[in-house]
A and B are shown apart, each in its own frame.
Chain A
Amino acid sequence: MTGEPSETIQQTLSDARLQLAIYSATNRLMTHRAGAVGPDLLPEYQELRNDANQLKKHTIDHLDYYLELFERNVIAYGGKVVYCTDSQEVADFVLSLAKQRGAHLIVKSKSMTTEEIHFNERLEKHQLEAVETDLGEYILQLAHQRPYHIVAPALHLTRYDVAEIFSKNLGVENEVVIEKQTRIARVALREKFLRADIGVTGANFLVADSGAVVVVENEGNARLTSSAPKIHIAVAGIEKLIPRAQDLGVFLTLLGRSATGQPLTVYTSFLSGPRRSGEIDGPDEFYVVLLDNGRTKLLADPEKRQSLYCIRCGACLNHCPVYRKIGGHNYPWVYSGPIGAIITPQFHGVLKDPWLPFASSLCGACAEVCPVNIEIPKLLLKLRSEVTDAQRREGQGGMERWAFGIWAWVMTHPRIYLMLARMGGLFAPMLPKVGLLGKWASQREIPKVAKTSFHQWWRERK
């Protein structure tokens, strides 16, 4: 399959430092997960996965009902729901709200959904400062890079990279001690939190029966983002719904353990509406942006619909032999790894990056660790066949069709086949190992072709 960014992939593969960084980070995350879901620690693990899958399936299959139920409850607790079909509408909403309230500074906590829509860049064009506050995301924003991993966004950078990024952008001394770098970020961002007019978070779950937004994190930046400024906006994809607050036991138990091996992350915030009468702090205004941005396209196919069950734990990335070699930036969109390989083609159309569903050995590790049991390998196969069908419709993939045409003709003409088989036995050892064959042979042993074919042997047996 052609079209993959082979040059940048080669760069990643030959960068020993980067290979070590990806290898050790994913290895550590795998070890942490394995230590948290083992049969001695979480005997009900498989049951929980099954429950989570069924709950997500039920919600996604009745998504219109749960969206409206969620909306009614957000309103009942004094919040507002803003539906957006695409990224432009999200930017328009935030810009007009900022203008009405005279806001200048926005603090943001980690959200893949806002990465998806280039939120920060859009706001900056309108003189609104939007600051990422998750440590990894803050570093990436200063360096103008996109996240390398769903859970560990800056896993490809070393302390020396961070030292350079900080001294270049923050005017601080070159500082390579990680504790001190963290301190620099704390001080710089604390000032932003206290000055910010609007806080924008993502959402890990939207709870329909409570109208609540649930955000999980370890640093405390999402808590600060949602409670220090006077306005809190949560931006979430419509697939983030779950039916009831009581279902959180299942999802939170799986999410933390699958992502980082934590039984619960440090902070889990369950937020419903603006501060209530008598509450001393918290936002005065509470908005939930429900974003489609292509998700309803994924809904239409009853089988591929399960891609929307994803709770963004990142376990499939950590366990993927392809992600672990090529890293996050060689994937064409913000979602990398196996989950990226199944959702990107569905969002952007299969012909945009036709190589993506093929960039897998179908080893099945992703499906084995997925906390909500998404059948990733099965969907990859389905998408492969969609790519080939689409290419045929577009008149592409001619080479492959031509080759298979010849193959079919040979196979249905026994005399020709036998003649070629005899020739193969004679000439195969003389083939020069150059071109495509050379590339293939550089990593493998070329199988030996027997001197006599099976047919010949059978006839001459006796």
Chain B
Amino acid sequence: MSSREVVLQNVRKALNRAAGLLPTTLAAPRLRVPIMDRNRYLTLFGQNFEKLGGKLFFSQEPGEAAPVLAELLQGKHAVASNAPFLTTCGVTALPQVQSGFTEREALRAACSTADVGITSADYALAETGTLVMLASPAEARLISLLPPVHVAVFPRSRLLANLDELLTVLPNPAEQTSSMVLITGPSRTADIEQILVRGVHGPGEIYAVIVESPR
């Protein structure tokens, strides 16, 4: 008998269940989405993001985002993801920014030496100051992870209230991507004497540039 059969058989024996039995009905998931003016999302996101040590910039239109980035990137070298929104904002056209990677090894090499990683964000959660990243041809995983600084540039329309609203919009993230990551603040540890240190393995600095959505 295979280990699979042994484990399943032991489980059934312990529970006194026959093979192939369906479970009893499960109550619908309780998703708590607050009733809130969507205009408040931006302020709330900003408060929570900055409480975690992040820094928020706001641009009235896409064209204003690139100068904010240029200021941040002075004397630094950055890798940007293939997110179309970054091109819309003119970020990929900046001289310090390397972009357009489609091959793993080249991307890894660039990310391990870059000072800054620039991505967009698929969603952002106001209640916790969280960025939500779905891996795709447009968004590689390592850009928000290897460089010591992470900058996310995204339109205001991607703000959601909280985790439960995200799970309402994406009831099963696996249908969209092999990897969804929620990022809530800079990488941190308190493993030695409970002293908080930022940037242990991931980025120690995190920035969000939110662009007013076209109406």
Contacts and interface: CB of A to CB of B under 8 A. Distances in A.
Interface of A: 21, 24-25, 28, 44, 51, 54-55, 58, 61-68, 73, 77-78, 81-85, 89, 133-136, 139, 152-155, 157-159, 162, 178-179, 181-182, 185-186, 189-190, 193-194, 207, 209-212, 218-221, 223-224, 226-228, 238, 243-250, 252-253, 260, 262-276, 278-282, 286, 290, 292, 296-297, 299-300
List the 6 closest pairs (A to B, CB-CB), nearest first: A220-B202, A136-B191, A299-B14, A62-B23, A246-B29, A272-B174
A253 B188 CA distance: 19
Nearest to B29: A246
B184 interface: yes
Contacts of B177: 272, 276, 279
A208 to B, nearest CB: 10
A77 B17 contact: no
Interface of B: 2-4, 6-8, 10-15, 17, 19, 21-24, 26-27, 29-32, 82, 101-104, 107-108, 112, 127-128, 130, 135-137, 140-142, 145, 162-164, 167-168, 170-175, 177-195, 197, 199-203
Given A179-B197, A299-B11, A268 B182 contact: yes
B186 A178 contact: no
Given A135-B200, A224-B145, A282-B141, A212 B173 contact: yes
A282 B24 contact: no
Given A68-B8, A278-B137, A296-B11, A218 B187 contact: yes
Contacts of A210: 172-175
Nearest to A276: B178
A368 B141 CA distance: 39
Contacts of A82: 3
A66 B31 CA distance: 21
A78 B183 CA distance: 25
A173 B22 CA distance: 61
Contact of A219 (B19, B23, B127, B202): B202
A281 B108 contact: yes
Contacts of A299: 10-11, 14-15
B93 to A, nearest CB: 21
Contact of B4 (A83, A178, A211): A83
Contact of B145 (A67, A135, A220, A262): A220
Contact of A281 (B8, B24, B140, B202): B140
A152 B191 contact: yes
A218 B108 CA distance: 22
